[in-house]
Amino acid sequence: MGPRLSGYPYRILFAWVATLALIWLALCSPWSSGWNWTCAAGVIVVLLVAMAIATRRIRERQASTRHVLVAIDAALASLPADVKRNMLLVIAVGGASLAETAARKERAAENREAGPGHADGSFANLFGAYSVRITDTAIWVRTDEPARLAHLADALTRWRDGQGPDALAYLIAADRMATESGLAASLKRWRSAIAEAARAVGYRIPVCVAVYAEEEANPAAGESPWFGVCGASALEIDTLPALVASRLEHYARAAISANPGPRARRAARLDALTRWACDAVLPALVDAQRGSQPLHITGFGVTAVEGRHASGSAYGQFVSSITGLALSAANGTGLACPLPEPLIRGIAPQPARQAWPRALAHAFIWLVACFCAAAAASAWQNRALVERVVTDMSRYKAIAPAHDAARVDALQAIKRDRDELERYASAGVPPRLGLGLYSGAPLLPLANALIATYQPPLPPPSTIELDSLSLFRTGSAVLNPGSNRMLVSALELIKAHPGTRVLVAGHTDSIGNAGANLRLSASRAASVRDWLADASGIPLTHFAIQGYGDTRPKSANDTEAGRAANRRVEITLVPDCRDDRSSGLSPQGHPACSFE
């Protein structure tokens, strides 16, 4: 039947669910802060709307049933306090024709002012002005508005401290149901209302269908009893006509007077009434194909009351169709009807059903759902953390040592990951990663070890020195054939450090004219520069040449060995002045810092 028990704390449960949602958004959500704030605002708006709707419905329910509860309390004031639990509580519904509904509503206010002796409707004589009657077996409460039935059932359940109505008596005045379409509409409306009342109290309410047929007063017939069946289990409609017919036959044969005709006529009329009810009434209440929950019918009975036949009613038309007899019109007065007390025999009192246990169970289910959502979010964020750290370490390992600038950038990402993992290790894992699912602890030593392995690249050698006599003939600046073998080492060094500038300097010994020596050293530096630029593909703008002649000797020029050492070409790598790093991956095209 769902959670719609009487007294169910909807507003408290709404607030609990909203609180869990806000906690999840604040502590466990994997979304951005903007999305979290937006969702939090949506949760608060939904909570306020739900609280407003629940409050409005509670007030409507209380307003629609307050007069009934006041009447019940007034009727039970002189009885023991526990009578409301020990006696059966039955709600009586139905009974009036569709044509009488509007008039009955207009007369309701007048009847309350006139006192308990004035009531309205087809079954007005059964109840007082406040639709409450107490008999030796049950407390009977009547309502003739389907829209208020669920509210009444809910209010009675609260009044009995969780013990809902024990049964529902559906009273049908067969001669007052004007047409087949009107009858079908009334049955559909009451079926839906009874199903809604069952959902409101949380269980299927046992239903007893009591059908009344009117007949002219005939003292010879005596008081009419109830003919039908009742019990705890649902009735089988197919067997009802035969069962009631056997009892009517026994009733007709048991006539003591010499004139059994009135009883026989009553038995025939009630037999037709049973067949009509099984054909036109009960199927509409228990057919599962009608679009709503079938009613739990446990009792059915027919009886005759004082009145007049109605040939124009749905029941009168049914009788005329099977007998060919036309019935007289009904007089339209209120019926002096007996309550269907025999039909509630065998119905067990309903147990008290408290809403709090179910509400607590639902609150626990929502708590478990929130925990599962938090665990799922934590698992997803832990996976994202591991993937991010592992990806950063793999990217760093994939970069060759020659590309130091890229390695430094990748290393900075690993250091940020290391700092985050150390913060979790020292200050505690946040809830969004916790719940026993944290997976970052094994990554911290791996990140520290990888950071410790980093070694900055060695600085390039300051100078490569080449023997001039191996490159040039005496007094010449033209490279000898085969001299490129000696320049290969310098070429490899230059290619290994493409972000540096290259200074090529020529030196001579002191033999000869100093000016000629200076020009020769500059020419030899230019020849080496041209060969290196051509072989490496590096623009000439990355090279600088300088001729020093004999001005910077390495050794004394007074010996042959000293003069041989002074005849040389020096190739020096110079960092770019715009490169902040010692390793240097600077853009090409800028002048060297200094060639002095």
Q: Region 402-430: what's the mean pLDDT?
A: 93
CB 300 within 8 A of CB 277: yes
Q: How far apart are CA 206 and CA 186, in angstroms?
A: 19
Instruction: Please check whether residues 107 and 219 belong to one and the same domain.
Output: yes
Structure-model confidence comparison of residues 508 and 312, the more confident one: 508
pLDDT in the model for residue 461: 60
Reported as a pLDDT band with limits 50, 70 and 90, residue 338 is confident
pLDDT in the model for residue 121: 43
pLDDT in the model for residue 128: 57
Domain boundary residue, one of 325, 353, 381? 353
- In degrees, rounded to 5, the angle at the alpha carbon of residue 16 between the alpha carbons of residues 12 and 22 is 145
pLDDT in the model for residue 117: 34
Q: What is the CATH number of the domain that holds 516?
A: 3.30.1330.60
Q: Encode pLDDT of 463-472 as tens digits.
A: 788 888 888 8
- Residue 38 resides in a domain: no
pLDDT in the model for residue 325: 54
Instruction: Please check whether residues 409 and 528 belong to one and the same domain.
Output: no
Instruction: Please check whether residues 383 and 332 belong to one and the same domain.
Output: no
- Reply yes or no on whether the pLDDT at 588 is more than 80: no
User: Which H helix or E strand runs over 274?
Assistant: helix 261-276
Reported as a pLDDT band with limits 50, 70 and 90, residue 446 is very high
Instruction: Please check whether residues 374 and 426 belong to one and the same domain.
Output: yes
CB within 8 A of 261, min separation 6: which ones? 220
Q: How far apart are CA 241 and CA 47, in angstroms?
A: 54
Instruction: Please check whether residues 440 and 479 belong to one and the same domain.
Output: no
Q: Region 105-127: what's the mean pLDDT?
A: 45
Domain boundary residue, one of 414, 431, 452? 452
Instruction: Please check whether residues 277 and 414 belong to one and the same domain.
Output: no
Instruction: Provide the residue range defining the domain that includes 403.
Output: 368-452
Reported as a pLDDT band with limits 50, 70 and 90, residue 577 is low
- Reply yes or no on whether the pLDDT at 99 is more than 50: no
Q: Give the rounded percent of residues in the chain with a pLDDT score beyond 70.
A: 83
- Residue 46 resides in a domain: no
CB 415 within 8 A of CB 448: no
pLDDT in the model for residue 277: 93
Q: How far apart are CA 471 and CA 486, in angstroms?
A: 8
Number of domains in the chain: 3
pLDDT in the model for residue 591: 41
Q: Encode pLDDT of 365-406 as tens digits.
A: 999 999 999 999 999 999 999 999 999 999 999 999 878 889
pTM of the predicted structure, to 2 decimals: 0.62
Reported as a pLDDT band with limits 50, 70 and 90, residue 6 is low
- Residue 412 resides in a domain: yes
Instruction: Please check whether residues 445 and 470 belong to one and the same domain.
Output: no
- Residue 21 resides in a domain: no
pLDDT in the model for residue 589: 38
Picking from 515, 528, 514, 512, the residue whose alpha carbon sits closest to that of residue 568 is 528
Picking from 388, 335, 343, the residue whose alpha carbon sits closest to that of residue 217 is 335
